[in-house]
Chain A
Amino acid sequence: MREQLTITQLQQMANTLREDIISMLETAKSGHSAGPLGLADIFAALYFNILHIDPKNPDWEDRDIFLLSNGHTIPVQYAAMAEAGFFEKEELLTLRKLGSRLQGHPERQRLPGLENTSGPLGSGLSQGAGYAYALQYLDKVLHRFVYVVMGDGELDEGNVWEAAMFAGKNKLSQLIVFIDRNNIQIDGNTEDIMPLEDLRGKWESFGWHVLEIDGHNIESIIDAASMGRAITNRPTVVIAHTIPGKGVPFMEYDYKWHGIAPNSEQAKAALEKLRTLDGKITHEGMGV
């Protein structure tokens, strides 16, 4: 199908997604910064390695299904979709503008390639479980997979655990979930707001196969997805430890960047950091 990128190219792609995110948010003048930046490596791996999708045929009947549950991180998905060829990159700068297909939170019917509508937290896993149930039990199509990305803050929602029980009971082995474990939510750190630990133990007790990875390590992300596909008697959850705001030093680890966009000056500084990999290389060296 599509040309496979090398690990180095995927790393470069993640960096490109981060640049796209900064430009989009700066132009939109609102939106969430930390989550999308932290998810860039996972989305580079998903859209350029893991997912069986065809950007030129978004409804391809043999495709894998990707659902974003924490819809506020949508800039990273839009960036990945544009880079993958679902639509032209120029459209990224219409994010959050009147008439744009790139709504502030994703709306399925507006943009081909989106599989669901999300934003209110905690419902993406159920939708993924519904789709995975249809594949496994109703259509008995075993070679397609359903991938869901969730935030860690949204695990506060009861709906998530209803879905976790349902998927565990039904051993939905074609369901593979990535949790963006960046430890922040709007009001502060997750363990202060509403502790999630023992997170691994929680998912295990619900009947899930649990993996924990460095969410910025492309090889680990690809391996985890591969492991998820190989596990045939349980759903898989990948707790991906990430750094919120990853790649932009002044945003990293700071929960205050959860729900705000950079101003022009901050965006300029962020792009400078990203384009030089925090001063380690020159602009010319990137070549992406």
Chain B
Amino acid sequence: MSDFPLNEDLFSDEVTQEPIRAGFGRGLKTAGEANPLIVALCADLTDSTQMSLFKAAFPERFIEIGIAEQNLVTVASGLARAGKVPFTSSYAAFSPGRNWEQIRTTIALNNQPVKIIGSHAGVSVGPDGATHQMLEDIALMRVIPNMVVIAPGDSLEAERATQAIAENGKPSYMRLAREKTPIFSTPDSPFEIGKAYVLREGHDISLLGTGTMTYQLLKTAHLLEEQGIQAEVVHVPTVKPLDEETILQSIRKTGRVLTAEEAQAAGGFGGAVAELLGEKLPTPLLRIGMKDRFGESGEPDELLDYFGLTGEHIAEATKKFIDTTSRYHQGF
């Protein structure tokens, strides 16, 4: 069974919720205490991205850049060359949305260990609307060589992931959600860059989730169980490098796969899994995510419902998928 302890109140209405970015804020402060080389740069969104905790603890290691995202990452590149470990934060729509080339050239090709934190990713940003709901960041970042891409599932995991990327010596991107997100992990749950975790075992389908969608998939599996379907839930917080072994092992068992992400499925996590399966294990695949469209204004819960990104909607889609597709048989 899974060695990833789950929150016992997972399916309760009183499940503890917290914005993922809060975990980043705590993790950065902890990482800063452990490593004096860590510096933090922000583009006029210090509270909003939760860098304020680090700033309060280490004011001399905090650098305000102003509303200038190209400068944000390129100054960070220079700091990294000077031996520092820079964390940069802004909304994902602006960084890496606006400064992708600078990230590509001065960080990734230059191989500098700059950490790019994109907050307010996904449609659950809510009322701010499509301009601020970053959906293309996973696709944009995972195609850059040298870049690590992480989408933590909840605030506790974001805290661990922040500390992990602080010490990985590589260009790294981490996406964070704005709104309160249910906590499905525990303080004892593991996090290792490049590892996927089986949260729940099953044999009818593999449900692969990244970021906030893993919680929804746990709900999906819970609902499907009532209908006699045993779904395996695999949490994939690291989109790159992808834990191919864990993913393929699960799919060999189930013969069907669904991916879920709060991002464009094309080129995103679903795209990454499709590439993997296409080459190594062709398998019927259903991608849940944004399908070639922008988001829009609304309350976060309304939007998740509207775009079919809730456990209930995904359970429905999964049932239909299972009813209409046959399993992959080779190797059974």
A contacts, CB < 8 Å to B: 65, 67, 107-109, 115-120, 122-123, 126-135, 137-139, 158-159, 162-163, 165-166
Q: 14 A-B Cβ contacts within 8 A?
A: A115-B81, A117-B106, A117-B110, A120-B102, A123-B74, A129-B75, A130-B75, A130-B81, A133-B75, A134-B83, A138-B60, A162-B70, A162-B71, A163-B74
A60 to B160 Cα, complex, angstroms: 35
* Pairwise interchain contact A166-B78, C-beta atoms closer than 8 A: no
Tell whether B286 is near chain A: CB-to-CB under 8 Å.
Answer: no
Looking across the interface, which residue of chain A has its beta carbon closest to that of B71? A162
Looking across the interface, which residue of chain A has its beta carbon closest to that of B61? A138
Name B109's contact: one of A117, A139, A163 (CB within 8 Å): A117
B contacts, CB < 8 Å to A: 39, 60-61, 63, 65-66, 68, 70-71, 74-84, 86, 101-102, 105-106, 109-111
Looking across the interface, which residue of chain B has its beta carbon closest to that of A71? B105
Q: With a CB–CB cut-off of 8 A, which chain A residues contact B110?
A: 107-109, 116-117
A129 to B66 Cα, complex, angstroms: 15
A-B contact sample (15 more), CB < 8 A, given A138-B60, A163-B71: A107-B110, A123-B70, A126-B75, A126-B77, A127-B106, A129-B71, A129-B75, A134-B82, A135-B82, A139-B82, A159-B71, A159-B74, A165-B71, A166-B66, A166-B71
* Pairwise interchain contact B102-A131, C-beta atoms closer than 8 A: no
In the complex with contacts A128-B78, A129-B78, A109-B70 CB distance below 8 A: no
Q: With a CB–CB cut-off of 8 A, which chain A residues contact B76?
A: 130
User: What is the distance, in angstroms, from A157's C-beta to the closest C-beta of chain B?
Assistant: 9
A129 to B80 Cα, complex, angstroms: 12
* Pairwise interchain contact A138-B71, C-beta atoms closer than 8 A: no
A128 to B74 Cα, complex, angstroms: 9
Q: With a CB–CB cut-off of 8 A, which chain B residues contact A65?
A: 81
Name A127's contact: one of B39, B75, B109 (CB within 8 Å): B75
In the complex with contacts A159-B71, A165-B68, A126-B78 CB distance below 8 A: yes
A200 to B109 Cα, complex, angstroms: 33
Q: Which 7 A-B pairs have the closest CB atoms?
A: A130-B78, A126-B74, A134-B82, A162-B71, A127-B78, A162-B68, A130-B75
